[in-house]
Amino acid sequence: MDSGFSAVFDICSLPRQIWQAICDAEVDGRCRLPGFPSAGAALTGCMATIIEADPERLLRLRKDDAPCAGTEITLRLSPANAGGWPTRLTLTQTGFGAPAIARDAMTTHWRQIVADFRLFLEHTIVAPSTRSGPDLGIVPRQTDIGVECAALVPGGSAARHGIAAGDLLLSVRGIRIYDIAQLRAVLATTSDSPIELVWVHDKELRSTRV
């Protein structure tokens, strides 16, 4: 089982203000969390059911929307120092049950979630939904020299074009790929032309257009 993800950061707002920003829109024990993804086409943020609430201290929720529906999201509020200011927020998401090879890709998504959630808390701005770009059909894994194909999605683009598990993705659209976040950014670039992929299989350089 995956151990989940966690982030700790300070917010220059009172616990009451943070609590109200999250819980003011509560309806029937559910609230919306900006920054967390939802499969709903018109939604900005996910819907979550409140499991436990200790006002201005602790909020435990169950994520209702795909992706990762059923995972638990916990927010803990505490003073950052003896003076009680700023407010320290500990944000965790657990219960994925994902294989270890998918953790690198999930870590990239987690960094984006935390950034968008902080944007909402610090500036009251809800980040618009972003397009994820084409799906290559691989489970990426970060290595010291780039992004490796840890596993293939059956019937996906990578499998159809000869990419194998263990191959190293070298470039996409002519851009050398060093990490998973960069891979996602390059794939999200709008273009109607085929995607040129270059990868390493054993000691052989291969390329194709998807």
pTM for the predicted model, two decimal places:
0.76
Can you name the residues that pair with 140 across neighbouring β-strands? Answer: 149
- Please tell me the distance from the alpha carbon of residue 22 to that of residue 78, in angstroms, as a whole number: 16
Cα separation of the two ends of the chain: 34
Q: Are residues 26 and 94 in the same domain?
A: yes
Q: Are residues 27 and 99 in the same domain?
A: yes
The tens place of each residue's pLDDT in the chain, 210 residues long, gives 457 999 999 999 999 999 999 998 788 999 999 999 887 655 678 999 999 999 999 999 999 988 889 999 999 999 999 888 999 999 999 998 766 556 777 887 898 899 999 999 999 998 876 555 567 888 898 999 999 999 888 888 889 999 999 999 999 999 999 998 898 888 877 666 788 999 999 999 999 998
For residue 61, being part of any structural domain is answered with yes
Q: Are residues 41 and 105 in the same domain?
A: yes
For residue 131, being part of any structural domain is answered with no
| Number of domains the chain is built from | 2
